[in-house]
Structure formats: C-alpha cells, structure tokens
Amino acid sequence: MRERFANHFDPFVIPFLVGMAFVLGYYLIGMIRVILQLPKADRKRFLLTLITPKYIWMNIRDIFLNCLIHVKLWKRNRVLGYMHSSIAFGWFMIILLGHLEVILFVPERIHLFYYPIFFNYFVAETEQTIQGSLLMFLMDFFLLMILSGIAIAIIKRFASRIVGMRRTTRLSLLDQVGLYSLWSIFPLRLLAESFTAHISGGSFLTIPANWIFRQFLGNDLNALPTWWAYSIALGVFMCVLPFTRYMHIPAEMLLIPMRNAGIRIRHPRKGFALLEVYSCPACGVCIDACPMSVRKVNCKDATVYLNRQLRRGNERRIEEISDKCLLCGKCTAVCQVGVQGPELRMAQRARRKYALSPSYSGINVRPMAAAVAHGAGGDSGGVLYFAGCMTKLTPSIRRATTSLLDKAGVRWQMMDPEEGLCCGRPLMMAGRSEQARELIAKNAEIIRASGCDTLLLSCPICYKIFKEEYRLDGIRVVHHSVFFEELIEAGRLKVRRNGDLKLVYHDPCELGRGCGVYEEPRKALAAAGELVEAGKHHAESICCGGSLGSLTLGFEQRRPMTQNALDNLTVADPDQIVTACPLCFSTFVHAADRPVRDIAEILDSQS
Amino acid sequence: MVNRTPVIAIIGAGIAGLEAARQLNDLGYKPILIEKAPVTGGHVAEWNRLFPDMSPAADLVQSLESQTAKVRTMTGTEIASINRLKDGYSLILSDGETLVCEAVLFATGFHLFDASKKEEYGYGIYEKVITNRDLEQWFNTRHDPRIGHPKAVGFVHCVGSRDVKAGNTQCSKVCCITAIKQAIEIKEEFPEAEVYCFYMDLRLFGKKYEDFYIKAQRDCGIHFIRGRVSEVGEAIDGRVVVKAEDTLSGKPVKVTLDLLVLMAGIICNSDAQHYAQQVGVAVDDDGFLKSRDNVGAIVESSRPGIFFAGACTGAKTVPETLAEARSAALAIHRYFSKRG
Amino acid sequence: MDFGFKLNPSSAVNLDTVDRARYDRLVQLEPDALTCIGCGSCSATCTAAPWSGMSVRKVILGLQRGQDDEVDSMLSRCMLCGKCTMVCPRGINTRHLILTLCRLNRKGEIVR
C-alpha cells in the first residue's frame, strides 16, 4: 500500500466535507431539540434507558434490524425489502469497510473524515495481498448490491406496480433532488473507482470496467472529474437530506430508542411526534393500506401526506387530513417505521380551540349507580354488561349476548338498561379528552357501585377505552367475543358446530389493531361453523368505513369504503359475515349481499 | 319475422302485466306473460283490501286474470337472459325455451324493503314487530300468532323509504295511506286498542285519501305522532318499547306496544335492473328503470321495443299502475302502427 | 310577588330581525345541515337527551330562529357518541355538525 499524495488532500473532497458537516450539525441540533421538547418525565425516562444495558442491547438490535435490514418491509414485500436493505445495508458496509481499510493500511489517517470514503483515490495498492483483495472484493460486492437496489428503485419509481405497489408517493421538488443525487452516488462511485482501478486496485466490478474504459479513454486525467462528481453527489445529497424524506435515516435512529423507552405522542408538533414525522420515509405503503384510498381524492389524506404537510406547516391541509381519518390504525400496522398516524391526528385534534365545551358535571349518576347496586342485591361479584350507545341500535346483539349469559349460567346485570352515558371514546377520538375524562369518572362511579368483578362489553369502541383509560381497581374488563370463547373453552357454553355454515370474521379496528384481540373470536367461531379468512385480515383487516374516528367524512363518501371492505370479506364466498362490533355490523348490514351477524348471534343460534 | 302478429313479452304478471296483456290482446297483438312466482297477481294478490274504496284486492286480481285467460301465461318461469335481435328480442327462459318477440314490456314491479335491514326496529328479533305485508296476510288468513289481541298498536311510516342508510332516498307514496288504512282496520278489529302512527310527513295526495285521514282522526281516535321511530326495545313481558321524538311538542316520547307494524317501502326490483342491463336500458339514479321522459313518456324506454308499466319506474298506487299499463299498451300499439 | 297573572314578552320569533350568522357559517362548513327534515330520530336516540334535551334537529332549527341560548345549552351535554349520525335518514354527519358548531362563536366566526 502506498499513499499517492503527500498532502493527503485534494479539493474534490470539499463538497463531501461540507455536506457531512451540514448534515451532522443539523442532526445534532434537531436531536437535542426533540429531546428538550419532551415533557420532563418522558425526558428523564428516555435518558435513563440510554444507560440501561437491557435497553442499549434492545436499541442496537432494533436499529440494526429496522434501519439496515428492514425486516418489517421484508415480511411485507420481498422486492421492496431487498431494495431498501441492499441500499441501506450495502452502504453501511461500504462505510464500515472503508474505515477498516484505513485502520488496516493507513491507521495514521483515521482522523481524516474523507479518507474512508475516498480511500481508493488516496491510497494505491502496490502489491496484491489476500487481505487487500478480500476487502476490494467485498467493496465491489456491496457496491453491486447497492446498484441492484438502485435499479429496483428506478423501476419502482416509474412502474410501481411491478414491485407490488398500486400507488406510490408523489415527490416534492427537494425530494426529487435528494432522490436523483442518491441514485447517482453509487454509479459515480463505480465510475470513479473504475478509473483508478489500474492504480489503486479493484475487484470483479472495477477492474473489468477499468479495462473497458482504457480501451477508448486511456487518460488518467478522466479519473479526477469522476471523483469530483462522486463527491458532489454525496455533498448534494447530504445538504438536501434534512429537507427531504431521507431525513428518516437519521431520525429513525433516535425514534427507535425513544419508542423502546415507551415515550408517547403528547403534542402533534413537538418531541416524539416531530421525530415520527421526520422518520417517515415517504415510501407510500400507507396509501394502498388506507381504507379511504378507494376514493382517489382521498389518496392525498394518507399518513405519508400528513407527515409531509406537518413538515411544511400547511395548517389548512393538516387540519383537513387530521379530521378526515377513520383512525383505523392500518397505516401504523403496515408502516415499517411505525409512524402512529391515528395518534398524530388525535393529538392534532386535541389542539383545537372551541367556543363551546360541553361539561357533564351536572349529570347525576347516583340513580344509575343505585339501580345497579340494588339490582345486584348488594352482592359482590358477577358480570356487569354495558351495552353502550351503539348496541342500543342493534337489539339483536344485546339480545344474543344476554341470552348466552343466561345459557352459560352467568350471574349478570345490565349497566344501562334504560339510559346510560357514553364511554368517552368518541370524545377521545375527537380530541376532547378533557370531556372524556368527565364521562370516565361518572361511568367508573356506576361500575364500582355495582360491586361486579367483570365488566362485559359488546362494543369494541367501549372496550378499548374501558381497558386503557378506566381505573377500575381489580374489575376485569372483557369483550364479549373473548368472554364467550372462554365460556366455550370451559365447557359452560355448549356450541354445536355446523360444518355447512361458512363464516368469515371481520376484525373490527378497535378490537383487532386497537386491542390486539384476533384469535379468541376466531376460535369461538370455529366452534360454530367453518371459518374462512378474508383477503386481508388480522392486523391488515380493512375498516368498515363506519368508524367514529373520522369527523368529516360524510355518509356518501364512506359508502365506497364499506363496499371495498365487503369485497375483501367475501373473497372466499362465505355464507355469512361475522363481526364483533355493533358499528361495523350496522355499517355492513345495509350494504352486504349476504347476512351480517354479530359473533354473539352466531354463538347464540348454535347453542 | 315477416308479417306475423307481433309478439310482446311481458315480464311480470302482477296487475300491471295483467292489465297490459288484456289491452294488448284486445288490440290484436300476441302478449305472453312471464311470471317468476307460481301465481299471477303480484303484490296485490297478497293484499286484503284496497284504498280508497276498501274493495277486496282479490276481486281486482280475479277480474284481471279472467280477462287474460286466453293470454299465454308462463308462471314459475324466470328469465335467464335477454338478447337484442335486429328487430326484436329473444328471451331465454329458465325452462330452456327461447322466446322471440317484437317488443318487451317491463312490468317487473317492485320489491318490498326487507324490514330486518333496519336492525334498530328489531324485525325478525322481537316477536311483536311485523310488517305491512304480514298484517295484510293476517287480514286474509286470520292466522298469525304474533298478533293476538293487542291493546296498543303502533305503525311506523317510511321504513326503508326516504332513508339514505337503507339505500332508498325516495318516498314510497303508498305507505302513508296504507298505514292509515291498516290503522283503521286494526281499530275496527280491536276497538279497545290505542293506535299510534309515527310519521315524518303525511303525504296523502290521492283521491279520497284525506277522507281516510279524517276518519282515522275523528272516528277512530288514532294518535298521529310526528316523529320517526329511532329505537325499539323490549320490555320484560315481551312487549316492545318504542322511542321517538314528538317533534310537534319537541319532547321525546316512549310508548309500550303489543304490536308494531313497520310500513316497509317500495324499492326497485333488482331482477329488473339485471334485465335492463342486458338489453341496454338505463337505470335511473334512484335504482328504478329510467323512462325516456318522466313527463311525456313514462312508459317508454330510450330503446325501441322496450316499454315500461307500473312500479318498475318508481312507486305507484294501484290505479296509477293500471292506468300506466293501459298507456303502455297504447304506446306499443303506436310503435307497431308506425313500423307498419 | 304574585299578581295572579304574569306579564310575558312576546314569544313570537321575528324572522325579520333574527341573526342567522352562526347558521349561515355552519351550512358553509357542513352543508348537510340544510337537508334536515326534522324527523326527530336524532332527538329520540340521543344519549345526552335525558340531561339536556339535546336534539340536533332542534339545534339546527334553533339556529335559524335565533334561539342561541337554547342551542348552547343543548350542545353543552353532547357526548359525541354518534348515535344520531347512525339513525339520520338523510345521512347528515351530525357529529361534524356539532363539532363545527362548538368551534363557532355567536357571530359565526371560528375561534382560533
């Protein structure tokens, strides 16, 4: 090995150095800002995890798996997974190997930032060593890997369907600059290294390329411009990076430790939310996933565009996108970075100013509390069934639920036989959590008065908030689908299986993605009939379109979403569509071409 | 097809189809009635008495049937497909027969809205909730365990009509008067019963309809409550509890009933839509078949040789349907006269 | 003091002088409000009605008749549960209507 230049410098490294300094400075300041914006308790918690060995290991593992290997994307789409991991991992390896070369051959130059990047320009290989050729081989290997990834990226940009995406994001101008400079970095590196390969050495890519070029170019002076071009491409990319979607690369490295520390979104524009917004790689997977996207006009309301508008500060659009969303959570389920679209929107809704704010302090719940306390005969234990607002409009669900309770010999009583209060979840979704808290306090008073040990819900909307936000000291909160599955399991509920009855189960958003309940309803249904799956199911099930999450979508706009969800449910041609949510039920019942039932109805009719 | 007596396929042998067949037969054409159901007469055959004269529905159907006795009538026959020919149409029937005709008359009528789809009303769930059709059948057969001896009866207007959620935004026209007719009949049957009609708007536009309204108010003491029923619950004794707003007093009302009758509305016949698609006839945005002109040419389609009669183009009363059937027969006659 | 009779101001609504600024703004932001047929489904099904007489129908009507205090008092108990949206035969997005109304001051301006 021999260094080619005594001063170890050439002006062509300046664009790279400028870019590097800029991006590092920007990232450092941004990182500190985000950490400072966290509420004090969150900040303390986060910083503590950074020095806890368990978390350190978790963070390293998650950063490696997500930022470099893109495991989540691999599971979703192999072509896209390969594309991203080849670029990210390949680039990482080239940087790592560059440093290794410097450490091995010219350790005294390690303080020069640009040396590992432009190693082959500054250092010439004078003799063939196994060590040297192995490193050269690996360099070419990873460069080839990146180039193949770039090739897929180019195909994807111009024909997204080939890689299995129906829609991809429309890029802003700066994103385009970032994209094209990123694309050009690696072919330029190949060119630059090829021009110097007969001096500095190379491997299976660069040496043949060098040979070809020398056939008709032959002039070593061509080398320097290509190294300039390579450096400029790097410099441009790094200078525009903070203003493009590529900010996700550094942002995600902070997002992962923060998420591991259990930090939540508390403000739509600050701290953790800001980090999520910048971590969005704008890949556009959420566009296809979003149930609203069946209407072309709503494609622009996917989470990727919310993130973009939040970065731009376009208030009108932020408000529009935030209010329209169904809060079904599917974008989060498919997002490789895990951007919490619904939480971002709810935080945004919570910032809204109102001229009039409801208050429920005047509502006296004592009569309702007394009614349940009396109904239980002062006994403790037993099940308190809260049907909730939506189940009032679906008497079949309420009737089937109470009938099953009787069949299983469960001691139960109704929490809202006549009037009842709302659970508070719809207010929460509208961003009015202060009001929701008032309702939570009132309902909790009634529940405690009942002396029950189990609170049974047939509505997942209620279930989610009772489970997450109510403090009911020891009272079990359970959804009817889970409760009945347990009763079947325990042999208290005898269900006859009708093998000719083909059922498909629709995962309600609030129950599935919202509370992670997927298997119990399926198990219960499998005991009653033949269970088939929808096209998309479990965490990827499609919202019925009736969600209370959306504040602005009108009935007519929701209709195509409902139809789309039904089309997805009927791919296996089931006899009946089964759900476990009164809102999904009511939404489907008018639009479906076959019977729609609640899980309780199926179990009741088969027992 | 040279110089033969023009054959007209009439889809549907309800009152529209029967009346049109009678007229076409008299005019010297060869109508053929194709009916999906095993009997003719359509919805009217299931009804008991008809407003405004309370004449038995069976009399009307029988008279129409006897006057079309010579018309070839194929009951229990469905249409597999309709194809356009150069100057006519061919119908492939469910029994395998192919029928070549010079004109097709859609007398496909309507479907009664499936009241169980308004799940909040509990039809099919609560025993004491029935539909207008169920009640007419009880008038005919006197057999329905759900009815018993009610002391309080409610009628819910506009079930599946004027309701975007139910997929039908149009008024069904006949439910208001049917509800009043049935309320009077119930009151005559059970003089002790309190009878309530829950309505959004009372649309009593036809001849003598207003007399029914006055009779219901003055002679029968039927309570009219201007408010749409929003929820139906069940009391412990199996009776139903109806919740609505009395919008005139602005107060929510609640009443416990022994019988709740849902006035299921008139919605488009999905079979008709299917056939229309096959022959290239437009379906209007209300789901009913689209006339060439809603004022001057209701019975004509935009395609030569395809005609409409009755409720296939929208909700109609019995007299309107009969008049339209005659009008369609004349339009067909004019069509063939012009063709020479 | 009881005179045995009461002196009441006229309870008639004078449509010539009613200020409909809030209603006009509302229908700009949620045009569905125009399609209400006053069937009362929303009032009958309302979860909050037992405590406030809440009724979307009466809110829409009250705004057009200048009954602002009544409107505000009805809105003050709404729990946004969405039942009214579900039963509305005209498919009016009543939750959005209510939220929008809560954002408007009496002059019909959105508070910021």
Tell me the pLDDT tens digit for each residue of B253-267.
Answer: 999 999 999 999 999
Other Cβ atoms within 10 Å of A454 Cβ, number: 17
Q: What is the per-residue pLDDT for A593?
A: 93
Whether residue B339 has pLDDT greater than 60: yes
Whether residue B249 has pLDDT greater than 90: yes
Q: Are A310 and A174 contained in the same domain?
A: no
Burial of A233 (C-beta count, 10 Å sphere; 0-12/13-18/19+): buried
Residue A361 resides in a domain: no
Q: Are A100 and A198 contained in the same domain?
A: yes
Q: Name the closest residue on chain A to residue C72, using Cα atoms.
A: A356
The number of CA neighbours under 13 Å toward the Cβ of A584 is 29
Residue A10 resides in a domain: no
Residue A6 resides in a domain: no
Q: How far is CA B304 from CA B276, B299, C73, in A?
A: 13, 12, 61
Q: Are A89 and A198 contained in the same domain?
A: yes
Q: Are A584 and A446 contained in the same domain?
A: no
Tens of pLDDT, residues A166-196: 777 778 899 899 999 999 999 999 999 888 8
Last residue of a domain, one of A474, A505, A525: A474
Q: How far is CA A500 from the centre of its chain?
A: 38
Q: Would you call C35 an interface residue with chain B, using a CB distance cutoff of 8 Å?
A: no
Q: Are A193 and A280 contained in the same domain?
A: no
Tell me if residue A398 falls in helix, strand or coil: helix
Q: Name the closest residue on chain B to residue C49, using Cα atoms.
A: B252
Q: Are A93 and A215 contained in the same domain?
A: yes
Tokens of A360: 């429920």
Q: What is the per-residue pLDDT for A379?
A: 57
Mean pLDDT calculated for residue range B153-179: 95
Question: What sign does the dihedral B288-B294-B300-B302 (CA atoms) show?
Answer: negative
Residue A21 resides in a domain: no
Tokens of A148: 């193949």
CA distance B182 to B237: 25
Please check whether residue B105 is in contact with residue B17, taking contact to mean a CB–CB distance below 8 angstroms.
yes
Of the candidates A270, A216, A288, A264, the one whose C-alpha atom is nearest the C-alpha of residue A35 is A270
CB pairs under 8 A between A and C: 91
Q: How far is CA A50 from CA A47, B169, B233, B274, in A?
A: 5, 61, 57, 67
ipTM attached to this prediction: 0.91
Lowest mean pLDDT among A161-165, B64-68, B92-96: A161-165
Q: Name the closest residue on chain B to residue C89, using Cα atoms.
A: B163
Structural domains in chain B, CATH included, are 7-109+269-339 (3.50.50.60), 113-266 (3.50.50.60)
Of the candidates B58, B61, B69, the one whose C-alpha atom is nearest the C-alpha of residue B21 is B69
Q: Is there a contact between C41 and B230 if contact means CB atoms under 8 Å apart?
A: yes
Which residues neighbour A54 within 8 Å (Cβ) at sequence distance 6 or greater?
none
Please check whether residue A554 is in contact with residue C33, taking contact to mean a CB–CB distance below 8 angstroms.
no
Q: Are A126 and A231 contained in the same domain?
A: yes
Q: Is there a contact between A420 and C47 if contact means CB atoms under 8 Å apart?
A: yes
Q: In percent, how much of chain C has pLDDT > 70? A: 94
Residue A210 resides in a domain: yes
Q: Are A172 and A225 contained in the same domain?
A: yes
Tell me if residue B156 falls in helix, strand or coil: strand
Q: Are A505 and A553 contained in the same domain?
A: yes
Tokens of C111: 């508070």
CA distance B259 to B241: 10
The number of residues in chain A equals 607
Q: Would you call A552 an interface residue with chain C, using a CB distance cutoff of 8 Å?
A: yes
CA distance B299 to B19: 14
CA distance A425 to A435: 10
Q: How confident is the model at residue C1 (pLDDT cuts 50, 70, 90)?
A: low
Q: Are A195 and A330 contained in the same domain?
A: no
CA distance C89 to B192: 33
Helix pair C56-64, C68-75: axis angle to 10 deg: 160
CA distance A62 to A50: 14
Q: Is there a contact between A353 and C50 if contact means CB atoms under 8 Å apart?
A: no
Residue A9 resides in a domain: no
Residue A34 resides in a domain: no
* Strand ranges (E), A450-558: 454-457, 476-479, 498-505, 529-532
DSSP A431-482: T-HHHHHHHHHHHHHHHHHHT-SEEEES-HHHHHHHHHT---TTPEEEEHHH
Q: Are A317 and A221 contained in the same domain?
A: no
CA distance A589 to A600: 16
Residue B267, beta-bridge partner list: B111
Indicate the number of domains in chain A: 4
Other Cβ atoms within 10 Å of B250 Cβ, number: 15
Tokens of C38: 């006053």
Please check whether residue A574 is in contact with residue A594, taking contact to mean a CB–CB distance below 8 angstroms.
yes
Of the candidates B232, B118, B236, B225, the one whose C-alpha atom is nearest the C-alpha of residue B179 is B225
Whether residue B27 has pLDDT greater than 50: yes
Residue A7 resides in a domain: no
Considering chain B, what is the average pLDDT of its residues? 95
Which ranges of chain A have pLDDT less than 50? 376-378
Tokens of A501: 């009855």
Q: Is there a contact between A422 and C80 if contact means CB atoms under 8 Å apart?
A: yes
Q: What is the per-residue pLDDT for B1?
A: 46
Please check whether residue A154 is in contact with residue A147, taking contact to mean a CB–CB distance below 8 angstroms.
no
Q: What is the per-residue pLDDT for C39?
A: 96
Lowest mean pLDDT among A449-453, B105-109, B197-201, B247-251: A449-453
Q: Are A325 and A394 contained in the same domain?
A: no
Q: Which residues of A touch C94 (CB under 8 A)?
A: none
Burial of B232 (C-beta count, 10 Å sphere; 0-12/13-18/19+): buried
Q: What is the per-residue pLDDT for A342?
A: 96
Chain B residues within 8 angstroms (CB to CB) of chain C: 120, 158, 162-166, 200-201, 226-231, 243-247, 250, 252-253
The number of residues in chain B equals 340
B208-225 per-residue burial string, b: 16 or more CB within 10 A, e: under 16: ebeebbebbeeebebbbb
Containing structural domain, residue A571:
487-605
